[in-house]
Structure 1
Amino acid sequence: MLLVFEAFVIAHIVTGSVGLVAFWVPVIGRKGGDVHRRFGRVFTFTMLATGAAAIGISTATLIAPLATHPHLDDAVFVRGIFGWMMLYLAVLTINLAWYGWLCITVKRDRAAMRTPVNLGLQVVLTLLSVNCVVQGVLIGQPLMIGISGIGFATVATNLYHMYRPAPHPFGWLSEHVKALVGAGISVYTAFFAFGAVRIMPEIALNPVLWSVPLITGLAIILYHRRFILKKRAGKKAAPAVAA
């Protein structure tokens, strides 16, 4: 079990590191060009791989908590944080990366987004968000309860976009940004927090540490949303000028 766990950890670190570097190229660089698309693909697929590896890590932790985390001595705590919460974050990352990829692939064809895989990811993430709340209550970890809200919000906004009667003309682009930046937030949060357990365990569950990626990501999403709305306003104004 330990060898399998370590293999998943190595895969998680390698794919996650590549993805988190690639993340900044489409965020900062020129939008829509070849470089944007190329690094966007790298980021998306490494996030899917990182999430899959994290599922392996969390599953091994749930089976053998102290064997996989010998530097800790509380099996209940390890199962809660490194098992259930990491499993939740892993599926959150996969959900956002896959949803964001579909948004840019099918664009306005929202019926094409309502695939069994995509809808199934919404169901699984909802169940894991509920479980994260329950486990947080059982082991007395408010952080688990609070962070579950991201999962509920993700599912709610994803389904709202897929089923809303009159979608925003650039809604698919706004959702694309939300989802892929959200995937970056999820993985940066996991890297900061779970990495801190080994380096500085006393601050690993500090809400301030967990809030840094969230605040940064929300700022990026709001900035790009404003850019998208301005783009829409410019396209509306163009026909009026021509007339």
Structure 2
Amino acid sequence: MYAFLLAVHAVIGGLALLSFWSAGLARKGGTTHRLAGRTFLLAMIGIGATALPMALLRLAAGDVAFGVFMLYLFLITATACLNAWLAIRWRGDWRRYHGPWHRALAWLNLAAAVALLAYGLQRGAVLLSGFSAVGLYAGVQMLRAAARGEQPRWWLHAHYSGMLGAGVATHIAFLGIGLGRLLPAYAGSAQMLAWFGPLATAVVIGWRLRRRYGAGPERAAADPLA
């Protein structure tokens, strides 16, 4: 069962990588951007649907560290995808988007990050401890966005932040987990770069997007999920 899920997961992951870059490089709001964006989010649903049972199977087999990290990665990735999708669907309703579900999900990310940090420190696992920062950051940013009130183009910031977060998870899964299992020699500092490299890249891209879209009057944009 695990081998079958892994094979399906890998195929869908390849589609997710391809559609992520297709959407990212296409003209924003255009047909290609919308189609690739929808494909990416649908692929992420498939990834989540296979990752969750894989994590539970690994836990049942006694591989606690990998199972725990898979569950954590599932949570932060699902959060990013949900934020990206609903930001577009509800872009005309700030209160609905930042409703109770949003705050509950933010606190869930914070709780999971703290738990992962404690578990990583107890095991001396640098990767687990380090990646707790992702959930901490996501949870804090979601709560801050809700506390700030409605801002110009809030939905655009939430959308591209969510897409970047989901994209980071996809690249980490491929470079840090999948490629490492295919190439056992791929380890050490190179593997560490594969884990934290996508995260650093997303920070830079997010900074550039905030500079480009972070101020000024809100512009109309096509719904990539319509």
* TM-score normalised over the length of structure 2: 0.86
Written as runs of structure 1 = structure 2, the 5 A alignment for 1:44-193 is 44-65=41-62, 78-80=63-65, 82-114=66-98, 118-165=102-149, 167-193=150-176
CA deviation string 1:169-194 (max 9, x = no partner): 01210111011111100121121111
* TM-score normalised over the length of structure 1: 0.80
Give how far 1:130 is off: 1.9
Of 211, 229, 232, the residue aligned with 2:196 is: 211
Task: Answer 1 or 2: which has greater helix percent.
Answer: 1
Give how far 1:196 is off: 3.6
Of 200, 206, 214, the residue aligned with 1:229 is: 214
Identity, in percent, stands at 28
Provide the rounded CA distance (Å) in 2 between the counterparts of 1:115 and 1:234. Answer: 22
> Which residue of structure 1 lines up, in the alignment, with residue 184 of structure 2?
200
CA deviation string 1:11-62 (max 9, x = no partner): 3212211111100122111011122111111111211221232111111101
Give how far 1:207 is off: 2.7
**Deviates further, 117-126 or 170-179:** 117-126
Q: 1:40 to 1:194 in 2, by over 3 A?
A: same
**Deviates further, 211-220 or 183-192:** 211-220
Provide the rounded CA distance (Å) in 2 between the counterparts of 1:234 and 1:84. Answer: 41
> Which residue of structure 1 lines up, in the alignment, with residue 22 of structure 2?
25
Gaps of 5+ in 1: 66-77, 236-243
- SS of the residue corresponding to residue 161 of structure 1 reads helix
Contact kept? 1:84, 1:135, Cα under 8 Å: no
Gaps of 5+ in 2: 220-226
> Which residue of structure 2 lines up, in the alignment, with residue 6 of structure 1?
3
Provide the rounded CA distance (Å) in 2 between the counterparts of 1:83 and 1:181. Answer: 24
Q: CA RMSD in A?
A: 2.3
Count residues with an aligned counterpart: 217
- SS of the residue corresponding to residue 203 of structure 1 reads coil
Contact kept? 2:103, 2:142, Cα under 8 Å: no
Q: Give the number of the structure with larger relative contact order, counting CA–CA contacts within 8 Å between residues 6 or more apart.
A: 2
Give how far 1:89 is off: 0.8
CA deviation string 1:151-184 (max 9, x = no partner): 111111123223423x320121011101111110
- SS of the residue corresponding to residue 214 of structure 2 reads helix
- SS of the residue corresponding to residue 4 of structure 2 reads helix
